[in-house]
Amino acid sequence: MSVLSETQSFARDKSRDAMLAAMNGKPTLIGLSRAEMGEALAEIGVAERQVKMRVAQLWHWLYVRGVSDFSDMLNISRDMRELLDRHFTIARPEIVEEQISTDGTRKWLFRFPPRGAGRPVEIETVYIPEEGRGTLCISSQVGCTLTCSFCHTGTQKLVRNLTAEEILSQLLIARDRLGDFPDRGTPDGAIVPAEGRKVSNIVMMGMGEPLYNFENVKKALLIASDGDGLSLSKRRITLSTSGVVPEIYKAGEEIGVMLAISLHAVNDDLRDMLVPINKKYPLKDLLDACRAYPSLSNSKRITFEYVMLKGVNDSLEDAKELVRMLKGIPAKINLIPFNPWPGVNYQCSEWEQIEKFADYVNNAGYASPIRTPRGRDILAACGQLKSESERMKKTERLAFEAAMIAGHGED
């Protein structure tokens, strides 16, 4: 079901203004660090003695109150608001489409303005409500370079990295649309957690490989977890990677969020085929990086994603090797039933076989939930996200479900 309400029509009008502002060379303040924001204010003539105070005010309005128009910053003088508006934008990008699944899952198609000599691009963001939490799946790139053989998103070529602003904007718009900022109402009939935040957890599991866009992802996640702003606990933020080993070390040291690994195989020969980045960073190197990830404990575990492929990686011997391989790593293993898409050569494991696999792993002491499909009717599962901006050519979004994004981070 597609929804385009009067409120959303207004949001789209405002977001088009944001795109026009960007095309006219108006920089955004969203996604800047405090130091960068201070430098930007100084450059437009804000007095040095006022810069720190103005940064604190802007930070509060942007990330606590969630405003997207300088005129709403009521404790800042009109002259200062007009000065800011002449030089910067804080408007949201365009919402092209919002879809709502029968199970409450929401998917947004966002359009971001051109960068340099490029053209506008589109990405998808998914929200999954569960009992006691709401998880937002955020994209980090337009397209992907990894070409994992079972993943339909990976059939789209990389167009470009998303900026820190574009990564954060996905969270800001989701909170707008769900009524998750102060004095905002939740849409009638929306399925959201009964208490607390509507967006309580975020996962970097959308389009792209986050660690191939390290600096922008790092900046966005540090702002998202800043205690004076969006204030999401780092234990409620999960960064998923297919195994960019050097950046895993950096992520642990410089970001410090929860880690998820797209594993899918227990030997290098098979993983080379399923997840080709394994040829560069084989399993031994990947698992060494996991063991070295800071602050690992039974309460801060690494999640290993494992898509169940019939006759490929689902035998009892595979389960035994998985347990042996992960020995000494505090871990949870998400078992993901595969849903074939046209042209793919894989099939989903039999349900009985998935349960046998899960029972063995569980009995060995590792939690191994079998992920329930969500958002099937709006093509909203991870691996299913495929924007319409592959080198600006329209592409067909075909049904595929390779991973589930719910259940990450602490409750």
Can you say which residues are annotated as belonging to the binding site for [4Fe-4S] cluster?
Answer: 144, 148, 151
Strands (E) located in 8-132:
94-100, 106-112, 121-130
At how many degrees (to 10) do helices 283-291 and 245-254 cross? 10
Residues 229 and 62 sit within 8 Å (Cβ to Cβ): yes
> Dihedral through CA 318, CA 248, CA 337, CA 346, nearest 10?
-70
**Numbered residues of the known binding site for S-adenosyl-L-methionine:** 208-209, 240, 262-264, 339
**Numbered residues of the known binding site:** 144, 148, 151, 208-209, 240, 262-264, 339
Token pair of 266 as six digits: 């227990």
Other Cβ atoms closer than 10 A to 57: 15
Helix (H) / strand (E) containing 259: strand 258-262
- The catalytic site residues sit at 124, 382
DSSP notation for 132-192: TEEEEE---EES-S---TT-SGGGSPP-EEPPHHHHHHHHHHHHHHHT-STT-PPPTT---
Which residues, 6+ apart, have CB-to-CB distance to 252 below 8 Å? 259, 292, 293, 294
- CA torsion through residues 257, 203, 250, 280, sign: positive
Q: What would you report as the CA-atom Rg of the chain, rounded to the nearest whole angstrom? A: 21
Token pair of 7 as six digits: 């409120």
Report the chain's terminal Cα–Cα distance, integer Å.
29
> CA 206, 207, 210 angle in degrees (round to 5)?
80
DSSP notation for 198-246: SS-EEEE-SSS-GGGGHHHHHHHHHHHT-TTTT---GGGEEEEES--HH
> Dihedral through CA 232, CA 5, CA 2, CA 136, nearest 10?
0
Which residues, 6+ apart, have CB-to-CB distance to 171 below 8 Å? 136, 138, 199, 202, 224, 230
CA 19 to CA 118: how far, in whole Å? 13
> Dihedral through CA 121, CA 60, CA 227, CA 211, nearest 10?
10
